[in-house]
Amino acid sequence: MKINQVTYYDHELEWRFEPIKFSEFNLLVGVSGVGKTQILKSIINLKKIARGASLNGVEWNVIFTANNYEYKWSGEFETKRKNKIVYVEDKGNKEFENEKSKINQEYLYINEKLIIERHENDIKFNGNKLPKLSPFQSAVEILSEEEDIAPVKNSFNKVTYSDNSKDISISFDNLLNSVFQNKTVNDKYSSLDKIQETNLPILSKLALVYNHNQDIYQKIKEHFINIFEYVEDIKIEPDDDENLPEIMLDYPIIKIKEKGVSNWITQERISSGMMRTLIHISELYLSSEGTVILIDEFENSLGVNCIDVLSDLLFDNRELQFIITSHHPYIINKVEMEHWKIISRKGGVVTARDATDFNLGKSKHQAFIQLINLDAYKEGIAVG
């Protein structure tokens, strides 16, 4: 999947961003609070809608390519004015129906051919009217088993979000215990392709690769050690602490061996910067082709040595798309200006503009100096 353009409105919050065009690599730059993170979260909301979520007041229009087809998907939920926080659990679908928002309209085009046409309760699929279906779920979710529609939901399942603005908390999927003990499950994820295609957390995939594909694991480890030269080795194995509860004895954890230090550093003692670096390197190798990787506040917890190497690695990818946010001068200056999306906001309207819109200098350094002195960058947020 490659996202080409997104337009998004949140009528409940009276917030929107105008059409943003995306390439393979995109760095959203701007001051804090300008709307960079909200752009990423809006893309995640599209994923939620594709999986059946009801999002009050949301209107969207997204153009993307997948499997050599161009898709145009748009729609709008009704807007309900709410005076209280409503608990929503997407997977369990436990929210009360009277708190859900209905879809007013929805359209899906494939290569300019209208596939889905929806007006409230009337849904047409390939020109044929369908019986009454759930008014709260997208047609993409309802018809996800159809041959024409399945690629849409599958594409949005490939959108991943790394929120580097928060403290990192590392945990492995419960499935991993079975992977290391059960031969049937173990065999299911024995190939790199199958590992890449799973929806498991990235570090769970890393543990599977450690168990099944040492060639790829060694490449990940080599990149990590090139950044942290004092690290001698990394392994992902159960802890040998006999005092652990029995249920944890076969549970794999990350361990790092530093040069000149006899004891291995266990997962809970590894720094957040090292863990983030390991995650980002693993994403490059273990995400399936067509994955859209969203990274918020790329610089958080990363030292200059990490930023340099990771920035280079991000450009050397296997058909992955990156949409990254940052307001860190070092990162902005590290990335070629052709990849910049300069974000500004006036009231509730967010705008993204390319560097070419400002006639910035030809050299990267000159362009960077001009960027940080632009009113659109320095002020970022205008009132009214």
Residue 171 has pLDDT above 80, yes or no: no
SS3 (DSSP) at 267: helix
Residue 103 has pLDDT above 50, yes or no: yes
Q: What is the pLDDT of residue 30?
A: 85
Q: What is the pLDDT of residue 104?
A: 96
pLDDT mean over 58-86: 88
Residue 175 has pLDDT above 60, yes or no: no
- The most confident of the ranges 61-75, 190-204, 322-336 is 61-75
Q: pLDDT grade, residue 136 (50/70/90)?
A: very high
Residue 178, Cβ neighbours under 10 Å: how many?
Answer: 14
Between 375 and 345, the more confident residue is 345
Residue 164 has pLDDT above 60, yes or no: no
Residue 285 has pLDDT above 80, yes or no: yes
Question: How far is residue 95 from each of residues 12, 99, 133, measured CA to CA in Å?
Answer: 18, 7, 18
Q: What is the pLDDT of residue 91?
A: 46
What percent of the chain has pLDDT above 90?
Answer: 54
Query: Across all residues in the chain, what is the average pLDDT?
Result: 84
Specify the range with the lowest mean pLDDT, choosing from 2-11, 222-231, 285-294, 300-309. 300-309
Between 228 and 173, the more confident residue is 228
pLDDT mean over 138-155: 96
Rounded Cα–Cα distance for residues 277 and 223 (Å): 10
Residue 313 has pLDDT above 90, yes or no: no
Q: What is the pLDDT of residue 240?
A: 67
Between 170 and 121, the more confident residue is 121
Task: State pLDDT tens for residues 177-209.
Answer: 555 555 665 677 889 999 999 888 888 899 889
Q: What is the pLDDT of residue 296?
A: 92
pLDDT mean over 94-108: 81
Length of the chain: 384
Question: How far is residue 266 from each of residues 34, 174, 258, 335, measured CA to CA in Å?
Answer: 38, 19, 11, 34
Q: Where are the domains of the chain?
A: 2-158+312-382, 175-287
Q: pLDDT grade, residue 92 (50/70/90)?
A: very low
254 DSSP β-pair partners: 236
Question: How far is residue 47 from each of residues 156, 221, 278, measured CA to CA in Å?
Answer: 5, 31, 25
pLDDT mean over 21-46: 93
Task: State pLDDT tens for residues 219-265.
Answer: 999 999 999 999 999 999 876 665 554 544 556 789 999 999 999 99
What percent of the chain has pLDDT above 70?
Answer: 79
- The most confident of the ranges 73-77, 163-167, 236-240, 284-288 is 73-77
Residue 210, Cβ neighbours under 10 Å: how many?
Answer: 20
234 DSSP β-pair partners: 256
Q: What is the pLDDT of residue 363?
A: 64
Q: What is the pLDDT of residue 162?
A: 79
Q: What is the pLDDT of residue 14?
A: 93
Q: What is the pLDDT of residue 213?
A: 93
Residue 166 has pLDDT above 90, yes or no: no
Residue 84 has pLDDT above 60, yes or no: no
Which candidate, 224, 298, 240, 285, places its Cα nearest to that of 26?
A: 298
